[in-house]
Amino acid sequence: MNYHHEFHAGNFADVFKHVVLCRILNYLRGKPAAFRVIDTHAGAGLYDLTGEKAMRGGEWQNGIGKLMVAQTSEAVAALLSPYLEVIHALNERDRIRVYPGSPALVRAWLRPQDRLIACELEPRTAAALARNMRGDVRIKTLTIDGWTAMNAYVPPKERRGLVLVDPPFEADDDFSRLVSSLTAAHRKWAGGIYALWYPIKGRRGPDALTKRLRRLALPKVLRAELMVAPLSDPTRLNGAGMIVANPPWTLENELCVLLPALASILGREGKGRFQLDWLGEPGSRSSQ
């Protein structure tokens, strides 16, 4: 494994993933009962955007850099506000230096009764994760394979919560493992929310994933995709997708507002597009 998220932290795919994550967390916090988040491929938790790796790629400038200065409607601003507030809290007023990975975003939403299990296998990254999350009794960091954790830690004792699956997609079978791991975990914890992220370079992998998910016939599986460029160059990351099983009832309508705005802000040369549809009931579709 040679993937280093420091090169990509804060890029358009991170922004998309984390906006969806924060809307799910907002829903979970809306009820008093405790919830648990299981982050299967957590990364380091915090990223220095002034570091050598982040500066070399500069991907954050076309992601969170664009979003922070964008003018949006009141409806879009209200939905983005909880996510952007976490980023503002970590940075000086007029300068973005630190970008929060998913564990840091989740930490900002946890109440005293809520818990996070953050898993990371790569030793140096796992050590950084432990340092960045240390001192918070609500959070347990584990140096463990995320696919193993996805099966081992469901169902949680809280019975409410989210499994976030965000593998690096270096292995050829990561798309198929998304489906098989979701199937096994859903069998054990049918009421949990599952959010699965995947990259879009071309259509082959994402379409095969969609086909396999449709065959499972799981109820309530929502797909959202954000493309920032045409799929003409399969060597580039041209888009990203999120599969959400058992999504909050609020999420579809929120994404109907957010996705057009994100496509407009983050699309390269005005070529952003999005898709939002159901792979399992209820059944509405929209795309642009």
Query: Where in the sequence numbering do the catalytic residues fall?
Result: 166
Q: What are the CA-CA distances from residue 71 to residues 76, 133, 216, 265, 279 (Å)? A: 10, 33, 41, 9, 33
Q: What Rg, from alpha-carbon coordinates, does the chain have?
A: 18
At 34, give phi and psi (nearest 5°).
-65, 155
Backbone torsion region of residue 159, taken as left when φ is above 0, otherwise alpha when ψ lies between -120 and 50, otherwise beta = left
Residue identified by tokens 């390269």 is 268
* Tokens 């070399």, residue located: 56
Q: Evaluate whether 285 touches 277 at the Cβ level (below 8 Å).
A: yes
From CA 175, how far away is CA 195, in angstroms rounded?
14
Question: Quick one: how far is CA 258 from the chain centroid?
Answer: 15
